Amino acid sequence: MARILIVDDSATMIEGHKAILEGLGHTIYSAESGEEGVEKAIEILPDLILMDIVMPKMNGFQATRKITTDDRTKHIPVVILSTKDQKTDILWGKKQGAKGYLIKPADKKELASTIDQLLEESNK
């Protein structure tokens, strides 16, 4: 299946999403900061990235913008996965280049469906 990078400063969130996604057959990588997420995106070139917003130093909006504007990584769909649920957050996330936006804690079916849809679109 797909190689997915989870970028989140919460080890609990990483482990929870990792368990769901590995159960669906995906290979999971993780990063605990925006900076590390950008570095790993360039190094690994995953098929999809799940990005938290609230992180120290470089937040998820900044990391998403770096990933979606870098020639090496701009083809990788980024899904923001955050507790920030205001319409302005969602619009800003998409303006940074995110292809999807899910509210934590994400429903397993919604998470799987969003990932499947974006992976299918990126393989066209």
Task: Give the three-state DSSP class for 73.
Answer: coil
| pLDDT above 80 for 124 | no
Q: 3-111: what fold?
A: Rossmann fold (3.40.50)
Q: For 5-63, write each residue's pLDDT tens digit.
A: 999 999 999 999 999 999 999 999 999 999 999 999 999 999 999 999 999 899 999 99
Spatial separation of the C-alpha atoms in residues 85 and 1, rounded to whole Å: 30
Give pLDDT, residue 106: 87
Q: Domain ranges for the chain, please list them.
A: 3-111
Buried b or exposed e, range 90-115, using 16+ CB within 10 angstroms: bebbeebbbbbbbebebeeeebbebb
